[in-house]
Amino acid sequence: MCRFVCLLAACLALACTTVTPAESSRLHILLTNDDGYGSVGIETLKEALRDAGHRVTLVAPSGNRSGSSASMTFGPIRVEQKAEGEYSADGTPATCALLGLSAMADPNDPFDLLVSGTNAGANAGSATGISGTVGATTAAVGLGGVPAVAVSANEVGNEGDPAHRTHFEATAAFAAKVIDRLVETAGEGPLLPPGTRLNLNVPGIPWNDIKGVRFGVQGTSAQFGLGFEEKAPDVYVPAFRAPKQKGEDVPDSDAASLSDGYVTVVLLDADYTAPAKQRSAVEARLGDL
């Protein structure tokens, strides 16, 4: 059974404190997302990772590619350099991940980790499989051979509101702390077990109201329903609606914990949930988040 960590004070401290790792523990991180270059989620995450002392190369889709899972863009890809070490590319998140890990990798300075996010909207439960945010980590781990972390947060307020950006800043600070904890506890071993990635999700409530952090498994319930409706003759558009009720979720579900007001941490493998032994080992390393 997963261990539940419900220490609100510790959670708030991680969200508000920047810790700079020692020189030897600084990572070269490839950062991407599925909301597109310049979104508030990727901007705040980039700032938090650099403030923590990590070197960040950003390769993100030129526009919103939400819901693209791990789909690949085949054919020529237009890339535009936006700033030093920052690029937008006309491709999916998974494409941007492999583009950065291959075409933009320096053999003398390889990437240590891929980070994807912060996504505007949680990617837990049944939404995990269609998520472009998580899809980038799928490509990084499965095809790029690099460990990865996906970061998502339900929104607080509307874009442009101070509370909206503050929520993403706190989420980014928490994600940076998780990565630093992995570095601190890895020793001579890998950051994560081979073939796995972390999926972090934050509820859409002020950090003062978050109950704590829960480790768990990928749930089966949906936090939203999605279909299509006809807007005009022969023209259909996505339509979000209330999720279908499917009864109780699996034990230790990330979707259920998120709905209860907890930050969720799930170790994913190719089946989206790693074996219990691997989860327990990583959860013990992360400690009281």
* C-alpha torsion angle, residues 123, 69, 136, 283 (rounded to 10): 40
Rounded distance, CA 146 to CA 126, Å?
24
CA–CA dist 116, 68 (Å, integer): 13
Q: Is pLDDT at 161 greater than 80 in this prediction?
A: yes
Q: State the pLDDT at residue 148.
A: 97
The predicted model gives 67-77 an average pLDDT of: 81
The rounded Cα 128 to chain-centroid distance in angstroms is 10
Give the residue-averaged pLDDT of 12-40: 69
Average pLDDT value over all residues in the chain: 85
pLDDT tens per residue, range 206-233: 999 999 999 999 988 766 566 667 677 7
Phi, psi of 171, deg, nearest 5: -65, -45
Q: In the chain, how many H helices and how many E strands?
A: 7, 12
DSSP state of 35: S
Higher pLDDT, 228 or 254: 254
Q: Which residues contact 74 (CB under 8 A, 6 or more apart)?
A: none
Residue 275 has a pLDDT of 82
Q: For residue 112, give the nearest of 151, 150, 149, 146 by alpha carbon.
A: 146
- Fold (topology level) of 4-286: Stationary-phase Survival Protein Sure Homolog; Chain: A, (3.40.1210)
Question: Any idea of the CA torsion for 280, 19, 188, 196, to the nearest 10 degrees?
Answer: 40
Mean pLDDT over 141-147 rounds to: 91
Tell me the average pLDDT across 260-284.
89
Give me the pLDDT at residue 19, please: 38
